[in-house]
Amino acid sequence: MEETSVPQTLVKAEFYKSTEKFHAIACWIGIALNLVWFVGDYLSIPEYWVSFLIFRICVSGISLGALLLKNVLNISIYTCIFILVLGISIQNAYMWSLMDIPHLQKHAFAYMVLFIGVGMLVLWEQKLSWLLLAATIVSNIVFYVLNSPLTVDEFITNGGLLVLTVVIFSVFLIRSRYRLTYKEIKSRLELAKSKELIEEKHEEVVKQKQEITDSINYARSIQRSLIPREEVFNQHFKDSFVLFQPKDIVSGDFYWIYEKNGLIFYATGDCTGHGVPGGFMTMLGISYLDDIIEVKQEKDPGQILNLMRDKIISTLKQNGNFGESKDGMDVTVCCIDKINKELRYASANNPLYIVRTSRNEKELHVFKADKQPCGFYHDYKSFNTNTVKLIEGDCIYTFSDGYPDQFGGNNGKKFMHKQFKEILINNSHLDFDKQRIELSNTINTWKGELEQVDDILVIGVKI
């Protein structure tokens, strides 16, 4: 994962930006209040009000000058408010040094309010707090020595120690609030940066997904160019349909057809996996059928599957070692002799159904497959070629296992072969295009909101 920490300079810049306005307002208010408090001096200690007013004017004037000229002087708002607080602290130390005990006790509260307010309102770096504490102590000592008529004990016990305690607590309060605020701003910036990184990654993932999807769509167009369109398939039969419903963009199921000299060869294939891996296998299967039947003119379905299996094992370098791929396909190869009305077929795993009408009754005949895949198998044997005499009106159905294996219904169970057979029997009298629509509607209704679990391929042919 990419680093999301934010540089300290950036955090401080955001810190200053977030708190500068508040501190500027506090500084203006402090300057004004420092002058207004002169009224209290005049009422409580009239004999010193002139000197107190001069001190207040000097402190507020210097603070105001620093605030107005801070850009020229290249100082921050925190320095400006520090000048104000430092000036008021020194000012209070001077005023303390001229007071008797009763006035000292009263004015101690004003001194404490200053530091409590600073602790609650001001955010600056720790060094300024320690500098303020040191300056407060030093200024009180200096003015006490120069002016105060009180003893050290009187000075300390009647306000000095209490104010010192408040100042120290104020220092730690500022420090804690500063750190909390700093951490909050840092966390906010890191969160914003993380969000930005996530958005960048999301855009990258979306772009990559689009590129992958575009590639897979292109792969589909290549696959579909090799798999005959349904209308091309139907040109070889008076009545037929192909229900081809891939789970993903690229299908692991395929079908293929070829006709020569009155013989129609067609295959219904179900490769290992679906999507892109299955798509690669379908292209191998189609190319093998092209080579074995069209080029080499092999006519025996069992031998066709034997040759396909040899090619798969050789191409994928399968020798039975542990951990190697066991990729292959379940495929049914049919050869229909149109002249003699005869079906010869060989099948790896998937059976073949024929619905035949006899004495006005429909019967579904199951023709079993060899229980082995067309690919590496621990105890494989030669595929058998089976011969079936056909009569006019026979409906031949070949399929992959995607249709009967689809989950759905009220209980989320598999559709199963039993229901599949019933649909084929009940709809075999329909036009084959209507049969395809009925099969499609039935499985989609059965599936409902559930995900399609596998590629679906059903081929129907009428003699």
CATH number of 416's domain: 3.60.40.10
- Please count the structural domains in the chain: 2
CA distance 191 to 386: 69
Verify that 111 and 242 share a domain, yes or no: no
Q: Using a cut of 0.85, tell me whether the model's pTM lies above it.
A: no
Domain assignment present for residue 426? The answer is: yes
Verify that 160 and 255 share a domain, yes or no: no
Q: What is the pLDDT of residue 62?
A: 96
Verify that 393 and 292 share a domain, yes or no: yes
Verify that 267 and 307 share a domain, yes or no: yes
CA distance 348 to 187: 62
Contact residues for 221 (Cβ-Cβ < 8 A; gap 6+):
none
Per-residue pLDDT of the chain (463 residues; tens, 9 = 90+): 455 677 888 888 888 888 888 889 989 999 999 899 888 888 888 889 999 999 999 999 999 999 999 999 999 999 999 999 999 999 999 999 999 998 888 888 888 888 888 888 888 888 999 999 999 999 999 999 999 999 999 999 988 898 888 889 888 988 888 888 888 888 888 888 888 888 888 888 888 888 888 888 887 788 787 888 888 888 898 899 999 999 888 888 999 999 998 899 999 999 886 677 778 888 889 999 999 999 999 999 999 999 999 998 888 887 766 555 567 889 999 999 988 999 999 999 999 999 998 877 899 999 999 999 998 888 889 999 999 999 988 999 999 999 999 999 988 999 999 999 999 999 998 999 999 999 999 999 999 999 999 999 999 999 8
Domain assignment present for residue 170? The answer is: yes
Domain of 355 in residue numbering reads as 228-462
Domain assignment present for residue 301? The answer is: yes
Domain assignment present for residue 3? The answer is: no
Verify that 130 and 238 share a domain, yes or no: no
Verify that 146 and 239 share a domain, yes or no: no
Domain endpoint, select from 196, 220, 255: 196
Domain endpoint, select from 154, 179, 196: 196
Verify that 282 and 398 share a domain, yes or no: yes
Verify that 392 and 432 share a domain, yes or no: yes
Q: What is the pLDDT of residue 397?
A: 97
User: Tokens for 41?
Assistant: 């001096």
Verify that 173 and 298 share a domain, yes or no: no
Verify that 447 and 373 share a domain, yes or no: yes
Domain assignment present for residue 69? The answer is: yes
Domain assignment present for residue 384? The answer is: yes
Domain endpoint, select from 152, 181, 196: 196
**What does DSSP assign to residue 405?**
T
Domain assignment present for residue 212? The answer is: no
Q: What is the pLDDT of residue 324?
A: 53
Contact residues for 86 (Cβ-Cβ < 8 A; gap 6+):
131, 132, 135
Domain assignment present for residue 279? The answer is: yes
Place of tokens 């034997």: 306
Verify that 159 and 47 share a domain, yes or no: yes
Verify that 352 and 446 share a domain, yes or no: yes
